[in-house]
Amino acid sequence: MSQLRHIDQEDLALYALQLLSADEAAQVAEHLKTCSECSAEVAALQGDMVAYALSAEMLAPPVAAKQRLFQQIAREKKVVSMAAPAAFERGETESGQTLPEVSHEATQASIGRSQELWDDARLDDRSPQGLEVIPPSVLSRTLPWLGWPVAAGLAIAAVSLYQQRAQLQSSVISESTRIAALTEDAARGEALIDVLTDRGAMRVTLNETAAKEPVKPKPQGRATYVASKGTLVFLASNLAPLEPQKTYELWLIPAEAGLSPIPAGTFQPDSRGNASVVMPTLPKGIEAKAFGVTIEEEGGSKTPTAPIVLAGA
């Protein structure tokens, strides 16, 4: 990894993936400071990483995650506004973040109002005729202290208003999160109805590959699959109970030669042997040659383990 030569392309990929040792990574980083060509390749590789990252099954975080985040955000702001008045004046927090303008303005406004009230108090120092005139020495001792309680009261009121605003914002965000979750559920339900009612859907009945006990009802599965949408509904019945730490796993066998079986969800039968897999995450546009079910370790497998207990094409 010389400074004079370019870094090996394969090492750049390992660098982008953060798989090099600390020393090797430091050498590459040093080289990148002066080599635009290698830097561009690392940027391109990190772009490739985005494409690969998207292969992860997309799942929305729990609704509580958003609430937790905004509680933390509100808490940080509260801590900063109460504990660091000097930083608050500058519009900064301990961590360097800029505080909301409204807070700063609220403080300034509060100070301004305090000043106005203080000025008013000074104007009220004028004694109306007919009233007892308080000796100047008493006024000069008392009035300078009056402004501070007033300013403190206004500051508390401003903080209270700010907290109310934060709470209102939190509840608005919480409600919008709930609506987003409901919308997603509705979309999922609509897609489910689509796949069940689609006349072009592929419907496959899966039967036990080797019958063992003719007396017992045979395990059976029915897969309904729309390749263009990547949607699949699988219903099974009469399934044998599983040993502990085992699970059934459904597989989509692609029609295109060379493609490996695609895991289409794990499932456990209920006490009557019934089970279902509804709308597992599958890539769109993969035509299926067949479907199969295997028994795998709990959590599922990336490749099917023989024997195939149910199969259908």
Partner 1 sequence: MYRNTGTLNIPPFSDEEDSALLSRVSEGDEQAMASLFDRYSKVVYSVALRVLRDPASAEDVLQEIFMQIWRNPVSFTASRGSLGGWLAVVSRNRSIDALRRRKPTEAVEDVVLASPCNLGEEAARNIMIERARVAIYKLPAEQRKTLEMAFFDGLTHSEIAEMTGDPLGTVKTRIRSALTTLRKVFQS
Determine, following the binding rule CB under 8 A, whether residue 292 of this chain makes contact with partner 1. Answer: no
- x/- mask, partner 1, residues 148-187, rule CB under 8 A, reads ------------------x--x---x--x---x-------
For residue 117, give both structure tokens: 């009230």
Among 4, 23, 56, 271, binds partner 1 (CB under 8 A): 56
- The 8 Å CB, 24+ separation contacts for 73-81 are 74/166, 74/167, 74/169, 74/170, 77/103, 77/166, 78/163, 78/166, 81/159, 81/162
DSSP structural state of residue 89 = H
Among 219, 254, 269, 280, binds partner 1 (CB under 8 A): 254
For residue 296, the one-letter residue type is E
Q: Which is closer to partner 1, CB of 7 or CB of 233?
A: 7
Give the other-Cβ count within 10 Å of 192's Cβ. Answer: 14
Among 51, 123, 215, 306, binds partner 1 (CB under 8 A): 51
For residue 156, give both structure tokens: 């508390």
For residue 311, the one-letter residue type is A
- Distance in Å, CB of 61 to partner 1, minimum: 4
Size of the residue set binding partner 1 (CB under 8 A): 70
Q: Is 224 helix (H, G, I), strand (E, B) or coil?
A: strand
Taking 3-state DSSP, the helix, strand and coil percentages for the chain, each rounded to the nearest 5, stand at 50, 20, 35
- Distance in Å, CB of 96 to partner 1, minimum: 7
Determine, following the binding rule CB under 8 A, whether residue 68 of this chain makes contact with partner 1. Answer: yes
Q: Are strands 262-267 and 202-208 parallel, antiparallel or unpaired?
A: unpaired
Give the other-Cβ count within 10 Å of 310's Cβ. Answer: 24
- x/- mask, partner 1, residues 97-116, rule CB under 8 A, reads xxxxxxx-------------
Q: In 202-287, at which residue ranges do the beta strands (DSSP E only) sit?
A: 202-208, 220-226, 231-237, 246-254, 262-267, 275-278
For residue 150, the one-letter residue type is V
- Distance in Å, CB of 12 to partner 1, minimum: 8
In the chain, the N- to C-terminal Cα span, in Å, equals: 54
Determine, following the binding rule CB under 8 A, whether residue 250 of this chain makes contact with partner 1. Answer: no
Among 3, 44, 112, 193, binds partner 1 (CB under 8 A): 44
Among 2, 4, 23, 57, binds partner 1 (CB under 8 A): 57
Piece of 51-59, 119-127, 200-208, 243-251 that binds partner 1 (CB under 8 A): 51-59
For residue 275, give both structure tokens: 């089970």
Determine, following the binding rule CB under 8 A, whether residue 7 of this chain makes contact with partner 1. Answer: no
Q: How far apart are CA 6 and CA 216, in angstroms?
A: 69
Instruction: Name the helix (H) or strand (E) containing 143.
Output: helix 136-197
- Distance in Å, CB of 46 to partner 1, minimum: 5
Determine, following the binding rule CB under 8 A, whether residue 257 of this chain makes contact with partner 1. Answer: no
Binding residues vs partner 1 (CB under 8 A)? 9-14, 17-20, 22, 25, 32, 36, 39-40, 42-62, 65-66, 68-70, 72-73, 76-77, 93, 95-103, 166, 169, 173, 176, 180, 230, 254, 259-260, 262, 283-286
